[in-house]
Amino acid sequence: QKEVEQNSGPLSVPEGAIASLNCTYSDRGSQSFFWYRQYSGKSPELIMFIYSNGDKEDGRFTAQLNKASQYVSLLIRDSQPSDSATYLCAVNIRIYNQGGKLIFGQGTELSVKP
Amino acid sequence: DGGITQSPKYLFRKEGQNVTLSCEQNLNHDAMYWYRQDPGQGLRLIYYSQIVNDFQKGDIAEGYSVSREKKESFPLTVTSAQKNPTAFYLCASSTVASVSYNSPLHFGNGTRLTVT
C-alpha cells in the first residue's frame, strides 16, 4: 500500500459544479494534512491545511479529514476554469528515529469545462 | 520579500557529470526539503533536513547528496550515480517538522534539469 494515495484522474467537472478530490493515507498516527495546487510547469502552491477531524472551510474550498477512516478530501465549490490544475495531497508520515516527513500523493488532475 | 530561491531555472548537463542545484531561503525556516517530480507524477522526497548540520534520506536518495551548513542554504548535488537525473527538482522549507507534525511547505520555483 502506498503511503499516500490519490486517484490520478483526470477528473472533469462543468463550470459551477462541485469538484471532490480524495486522498487516503497509511499512517494512522499522521497529524498534518495539506492540499496543494500545481499548474503545469509551476511549483505547488498551498490551498489548505488541516490538523483536526472534521471540516475546514476557506472561501470556495473545504478540506475534510476523517482520521478513523484515514482519508482527507478537498471540495471545490462553484468550480471555475482557472481551477483546472493538478491537486496534490500531502501527509506527514512518521519515521522511527528520524522524525516525520511529508509525503505527497501522485496528484489528481482536475479539468473544469466552461 | 521573503521566499525560497532556486537557481538556475533550467540546467543542462552531459551524462557522467555531477551538478549542484542551489536552494536559499530567507524565511528563517528550520526545515528544508528536496523533492523530485517526473512528468505526470507526484513529488518524491529525496532528502530533508530539520536542523543545521543534520539531514535524512528520503525515499529516493540514491545518487544524490546534500549539505546543510547554514540554516538558509540546502544545496542538492546530483551525482553521476543517479541513473535517471532528468526531472523537475523542487526545494521547500517549513517552520516545523517534528515526528508527527509539519507546518505547511513553501516551495521555490524549481529547477528543470536535463541530462543528455
Which is more confidently placed, A8 or B98?
Answer: A8
A92 touches B at CB < 8 Å: yes
Neighbours of B83 (CB within 10 A): 7
For residue B41, the one-letter residue type is Q
A37 CB-near residues (< 8 Å, 6+ apart): A44, A45, A47, A83, A85, A86, A87, A88
Cβ atoms B79, B63 nearer than 8 A: yes
pLDDT at B74: 98
Q: Over the stretch B7-22, which tens digit does the pLDDT of each residue have? A: 999 999 999 899 999 9
**How far is the CA of B66 from the CAs of A81, B40, B53, B109, in angstroms?**
40, 26, 10, 19
**Confidence tier at B114 by pLDDT (50, 70, 90):** very high
Q: How far is A16 from chain B (nearest CA, A)?
A: 26
Q: How far is A91 from chain B (nearest CA, A)?
A: 9
Rg of chain B in Å (alpha carbons): 13
In a mutational test of the B interface, the residue from A34, A43, A106 whose CB has the highest number of chain B CBs within 10 Å is A43
CB contact under 8 A, B100 and A106: no
Q: Is A11 a residue whose pLDDT tops 80?
A: yes
- Average pLDDT estimate for A67-86: 96
Please tell me which of the candidates B59, B104, B109 has its beta carbon nearest to residue A49.
B104
A63 interaction partners in chain B (CB closer than 8 Å) = none
pLDDT at A7: 86
**How far is the CA of A76 from the CAs of A19, A35, A47, A81, B86, in angstroms?**
5, 12, 11, 12, 34
Closest-CA residue of A relative to B58 is A101
- Average pLDDT estimate for A16-31: 93
Alpha carbon distance B30, B8 (integer Å): 23
CB contact under 8 A, B100 and A30: yes
Q: How far is A99 from chain B (nearest CA, A)?
A: 4
Instruction: Compute the mean pLDDT over every residue in chain A, rounded to the nearest whole number.
Output: 92
Alpha carbon distance B21, B30 (integer Å): 19
Q: Over the stretch A34-51, which tens digit does the pLDDT of each residue have? A: 999 999 989 999 999 999
B98 interaction partners in chain A (CB closer than 8 Å) = 99-100
Closest-CA residue of A relative to B88 is A41
Q: Over the stretch B27-66, which tens digit does the pLDDT of each residue have? A: 999 999 999 999 877 899 999 998 899 999 998 999 999 9
Among chain B, residues having any CB pair with chain A shorter than 8 Å are 33, 35, 40-45, 48, 50, 56, 58-59, 90, 94, 97-110
Instruction: Compute the mean pLDDT over every residue in chain B, rounded to the nearest whole number.
Output: 91
CB contact under 8 A, B42 and A100: no
A44 touches B at CB < 8 Å: yes
